[in-house]
Amino acid sequence: GGYVRMLDERVDEVPPELASQAFNNKSVGKRMAIIAAGPGVNFIFAAIALYVMFLIGISTIKPVIGEVSPDSIAAQAGLTGNMEIIAVGSRETPDWEAVNLELMSYIGQQSMPVTVVSQSDSARQRVLDIAGWNFDPDSESPLRSLGISPFRPGATLTVAYVAEQTAASQAGLQQNDEIVALDGQPVTAWEDLVAQIKNRPGEQVEIRVNRAGQTYDLSATIGRRDTPEGQDGYLGVSPFAEPWPEGYVFTHQYGLLEAVGKAVDKTWRLMTLSVEMIGKLITGDVSVKNLSGPIAIAQGAGNSAGYGLVYFLSFLA
């Protein structure tokens, strides 16, 4: 919301005919109501936005761990790949958004209990030692800083997208081409292809593709892309992903009455987390970098709007 300046005789000159409307001439109860009106409307709007979101339904992903970095905080607590995080502390975490929110609530504490379950085991609680946990939100996420990488389906070798005016488009690569070899060497994984391209900026390569049952050899000069470490090779293509395993993707959607409770609960959690973060900022447990200012909020709203109405409503809350 924007800044609202009160009509107040202690701040400005107030015409006599408006004196009765001045803030300083109102009773204590009315002044409290006026001050509370702004946050109150924000709370109500958030609940309504979330209510609409839960009625429409939003697809989300179960928080299943893909990989855990060796010697990380998560690894030392015994977390491994294929574990699903079902709760952080006492709050359930049905998706990665919920996990991230609850992780943030533990900043500044000494330990963090996390309940996980795997296909071969029942629910177990692991305790993460986060006494020295610090991260820069501009360069990494809370999950990455703990050593956790979410599960994602692997990439295939079939081209899904070719960027315009790149080495790939100039070489004649097309959507649905299957890359089978690079400079005569078979390519068996997309990650291997990326690694080879990254290390050869400016070099000419021969790419063999399978297109509609026919084999084609294409010549490409790998592009260059500036990075903090120097220059990386860049081809300009992205692959199709393998399908998600059954049950990993689900939809948050509720009926008219149940959605009310879900919306109010999430609104309350977002509000209490904001208050907690402000408190931790005062105590020094949280850096100013961890708090989004108006500019970041506006940029985030613009980016969220691109994902559709449901995701935009979720952000606005």
CATH number of residue 194's parent domain:
2.30.42.10
According to DSSP, the residues that pair with 68 across neighbouring strands are 148
Residue 250 located in a structural domain = no
Q: Give the pLDDT of residue 93.
A: 92
Residue 163 located in a structural domain = yes
Residue the block writes with tokens 């409770």: 261
User: Three-class SS of residue 143?
Assistant: helix
Q: Which of 190, 216, 241 is the last residue of a domain?
A: 241
CA 275, chain centre distance (Å): 21
Q: 0.85 exceeded by the pTM? A: no
Distance set, CA 234 to CA 21, 156, 164, 166, 204 (Å): 65, 18, 13, 8, 12
How many residues in the chain?
A: 317
- The verdict on 224 and 198 lying in the same domain is yes
- The verdict on 218 and 205 lying in the same domain is yes
Residue 276 located in a structural domain = no
The pLDDT mean for the chain works out to 84
Amino acid at 21: Q
Q: Is a pLDDT exceeding 60 seen at residue 55?
A: yes
- The verdict on 93 and 128 lying in the same domain is yes
- The verdict on 65 and 128 lying in the same domain is yes
* pLDDT confidence band for 289 (50 / 70 / 90): low
Q: Give the pLDDT of residue 221.
A: 93
Q: How many domains does the chain have?
A: 2
Across 134-148, 202-216, 223-237, 288-302, the highest mean pLDDT is recorded for 202-216
The four Cα atoms 267, 60, 125, 265 give a dihedral, to 10 degrees, of 20
- The verdict on 124 and 179 lying in the same domain is no
Residue 21 located in a structural domain = no
Q: Is a pLDDT exceeding 60 seen at residue 227?
A: yes
- The verdict on 142 and 212 lying in the same domain is no
Q: Give the pLDDT of residue 307.
A: 44
- The verdict on 181 and 129 lying in the same domain is no
138 half-sphere exposure, CB direction, 13 A CA radius: 4
- The verdict on 136 and 203 lying in the same domain is no
Q: Give the pLDDT of residue 207.
A: 95
Give the list of residues 6+ apart from residue 195 with CB closer than 8 angstroms, or none: none
- The verdict on 101 and 140 lying in the same domain is yes
Residue 309 located in a structural domain = no
Instruction: Label residues 123-161 b or e (16+ Cβ within 10 Å = b).
Output: eeebebebeebebeeeeeebbebbbbebbeeebebbbee
Q: Give the pLDDT of residue 239.
A: 92
Q: Which of 123, 138, 153 is the last residue of a domain?
A: 153
- The verdict on 204 and 149 lying in the same domain is no
Residue 249 located in a structural domain = no
| Model confidence pLDDT, tens digit, residues 97-154 | 889 888 888 888 899 999 999 877 789 999 999 988 877 666 677 888 899 999 988 8
Residue 259 located in a structural domain = no
Residue 208 located in a structural domain = yes
- The verdict on 137 and 167 lying in the same domain is no
Residue-number span of the structural domain to which 208 is assigned: 155-241
Q: 6: how many CB neighbours lie within 10 A of its CB?
A: 14
Segment 259-275 mean pLDDT: 87
Which of these, 219, 220, 217, 228, lies nearest to 166 by C-alpha position?
220
